Amino acid sequence: MEQSQDSRMGPPWSQEGSPEEGLPTEWSRQWTRGRRVLIAILLGGLVLGSSVLWVYIFRNCGPRHCETPVCLDLLARYLASGNSSVDPCTDFFRFVCEKGNGTSDSFQTLSEENKSQLWRLLETPGSWHLGSGEEKAFQFYNSCMDTDAIEAEGVGPLQQIIEELGGWHISGNWTSLDFNRTLRLLMSQYGHFPFFRAHLQPHPSPPHTPVIQIDQPEFDILLQKEQEQKIYAQILREQLTYLNRLGTLLGGDAQKVQQHAAWFISFTSRLFQFLRPLEQQQAQDKLFQVVTIGELQEMAPAIDWLSCLQAIFTPMSLSPAQTLVVRDLDYLRNMSQLVEEELLANRDLIQSYMILGLVDTLSPALDSKFREARRELRQKLWELKERPPLPASPRWMKCVEETGKFFEPTLAALFVREAFGPSIRSAAMELFAEIKDAVILRLKKLSWISEKTLNEALNKLTKLQVEMGAPKRALKPDLAKEEYNDIQLGPSFLQSFLSCERSLQGRKVRHFLQPFAHHRWTESPWGVKAYYSVSDHVVVFPAGLLQPPFFHPGYPRAVNFGAAGSIMAHKLLHIFYQLLLPGGCPACDTHVLQEALLCLEHHYAAFPLPNMSSFNGSHTLLENAGDVGGLAIAFQMTTWDPLPTL
Ligand SMILES: *[C@@H]1O[C@H](CO)[C@@H](O)[C@H](O)[C@H]1NC(C)=O
Ligand SMILES: *[C@@H]1O[C@H](CO)[C@@H](O)[C@H](O)[C@H]1NC(C)=O
Ligand SMILES: *[C@@H]1O[C@H](CO)[C@@H](O)[C@H](O)[C@H]1NC(C)=O
Ligand SMILES: *[C@@H]1O[C@H](CO)[C@@H](O)[C@H](O)[C@H]1NC(C)=O
Ligand SMILES: *[C@@H]1O[C@H](CO)[C@@H](O)[C@H](O)[C@H]1NC(C)=O
Ligand SMILES: *[C@@H]1O[C@H](CO)[C@@H](O)[C@H](O)[C@H]1NC(C)=O
Ligand SMILES: *[C@@H]1O[C@H](CO)[C@@H](O)[C@H](O)[C@H]1NC(C)=O
Ligand SMILES: *[C@@H]1O[C@H](CO)[C@@H](O)[C@H](O)[C@H]1NC(C)=O
For residue 331, give the ligand 6 atom closest to its CA: 1
Q: What is the pLDDT of residue 228?
A: 64
Q: What is the pLDDT of residue 617?
A: 73
* pLDDT at residue 499 is higher than 50: yes
Segment of 181-185, 409-413, 603-607 carrying the highest mean pLDDT? 181-185
CA of 178 to the centre of ligand 7 (A): 9
- For residue 45, what pLDDT band results from cuts at 50, 70 and 90? very low
Cα–Cα nearest to 159, from 412, 366, 424 = 366
For residue 163, give the ligand 5 atom closest to its CA: 14
Mean pLDDT within 77-92: 84
CA of 99 to the centre of ligand 2 (A): 9
Higher-pLDDT residue of 467 and 480 is: 467
160 Cβ inside 6 Å of ligand 5: no
Task: Convert the pLDDT of each residue in 211-238 to its tens digit.
Answer: 999 998 887 555 555 556 678 888 889 9
Ligand 7, atom 3, residue with closest C-alpha: 304
For residue 616, give the ligand 8 atom closest to its CA: 1
CA distance 220 to 191: 13
CA of 553 to the centre of ligand 4 (A): 14
Higher-pLDDT residue of 160 and 14 is: 160
What's the whole-number average pLDDT of the chain?
82
101 Cβ inside 6 Å of ligand 3: yes
- For residue 366, what pLDDT band results from cuts at 50, 70 and 90? very high
CA of 102 to the centre of ligand 3 (A): 9
* pLDDT at residue 474 is higher than 90: no
Task: Convert the pLDDT of each residue in 94-103 to its tens digit.
Answer: 888 776 554 4
Contact by Cβ (8 Å): 601, 621: yes
Contact by Cβ (8 Å): 256, 170: yes
CA distance 28 to 22: 9
* pLDDT at residue 567 is higher than 80: yes
* pLDDT at residue 627 is higher than 50: yes
Return the minimum-mean-pLDDT range out of 37-46, 511-520, 572-581: 37-46
CA distance 71 to 76: 9
Higher-pLDDT residue of 367 and 38 is: 367
Ligand 6, atom 5, residue with closest C-alpha: 330
Mean pLDDT within 594-602: 89
Return the minimum-mean-pLDDT range out of 42-51, 229-238, 356-365: 42-51
CA distance 49 to 482: 38
274 Cβ inside 6 Å of ligand 6: yes
The distance of Cα 568 from the centroid of its chain, to the nearest Å, equals 19
Q: What is the pLDDT of residue 437?
A: 92
CA distance 386 to 230: 14
CA of 275 to the centre of ligand 6 (A): 10
334 Cβ inside 6 Å of ligand 6: yes
Mean pLDDT within 167-194: 90
Our CA angle for 246, 247, 252, nearest 5°, is: 150
Beta strands 289-292; 323-326: pairing state: antiparallel
CA distance 584 to 574: 14
* pLDDT at residue 209 is higher than 70: yes
For residue 619, give the ligand 8 atom closest to its CA: 2
Domain ranges of the chain: 162-388
For residue 180, give the ligand 7 atom closest to its CA: 1
Q: Which ligand is nearest to the CA of 301?
A: 7
Fold designation for 162-388: Neutral endopeptidase; domain 2 (1.10.1380)
* pLDDT at residue 504 is higher than 90: yes
For residue 103, give the ligand 3 atom closest to its CA: 14
* Substitution site in 334, 335, 341 for ligand 6 pocket (most atoms within 8 Å of beta carbon): 334
Mean pLDDT within 328-332: 92
Return the minimum-mean-pLDDT range out of 111-120, 262-271, 609-618: 609-618
CA of 332 to the centre of ligand 6 (A): 10
346 Cβ inside 6 Å of ligand 8: no
CA of 6 to the centre of ligand 3 (A): 24
Higher-pLDDT residue of 169 and 13 is: 169
Q: What is the pLDDT of residue 335?
A: 97
CA torsion angle 505 399 159 357 (round to 10): 60
Return the minimum-mean-pLDDT range out of 124-133, 280-289, 577-586: 280-289
CA distance 186 to 155: 18
Q: 151 Cβ partners below 8 Å, 6+ apart?
A: 367, 368
Ligand 1, atom 8, residue with closest C-alpha: 613
CA of 70 to the centre of ligand 6 (A): 62
* Substitution site in 611, 614, 618 for ligand 1 pocket (most atoms within 8 Å of beta carbon): 611
- For residue 79, what pLDDT band results from cuts at 50, 70 and 90? confident
For residue 548, give the ligand 4 atom closest to its CA: 7
Mean pLDDT within 559-570: 91
For residue 99, give the ligand 3 atom closest to its CA: 13
CA of 348 to the centre of ligand 8 (A): 53
For residue 171, give the ligand 5 atom closest to its CA: 13
- The string over 604-617, giving b where at least 16 C-beta atoms fall within 10 Å of a residue's C-beta and e elsewhere, is beebeeeeeeebbb
Task: Convert the pLDDT of each residue in 139-150 to its tens digit.
Answer: 999 999 999 999
Omega of the bond leading into 542 within 30 degrees of 0 (cis): no
Q: What is the pLDDT of residue 220?
A: 56
Instruction: Ligand 4: list residues with CB < 6 Å.
Output: 110, 113-114, 117, 415, 418-419, 547-548
Q: What is the pLDDT of residue 16?
A: 33
* pLDDT at residue 606 is higher than 90: no
Q: What is the pLDDT of residue 5?
A: 28
258 Cβ inside 6 Å of ligand 8: no
* pLDDT at residue 641 is higher than 50: no
Ligand 6, atom 1, residue with closest C-alpha: 334
For residue 80, give the ligand 3 atom closest to its CA: 13
Name the amino acid, one letter, at 150.
I
- Please give the share of the chain, as a percent, with pLDDT higher than 90: 47
CA of 102 to the centre of ligand 7 (A): 53
Sheet holding 197-202, edge to edge: 197-202, 210-215, 323-326, 289-292
Return the minimum-mean-pLDDT range out of 217-221, 243-247, 468-472, 501-505: 217-221
Residue 441 CB neighbour total at 10 angstroms: 11
Task: Convert the pLDDT of each residue in 535-544 to its tens digit.
Answer: 889 999 999 9
Our CA angle for 153, 265, 282, nearest 5°, is: 105
37 Cβ inside 6 Å of ligand 8: no
605 Cβ inside 6 Å of ligand 8: yes
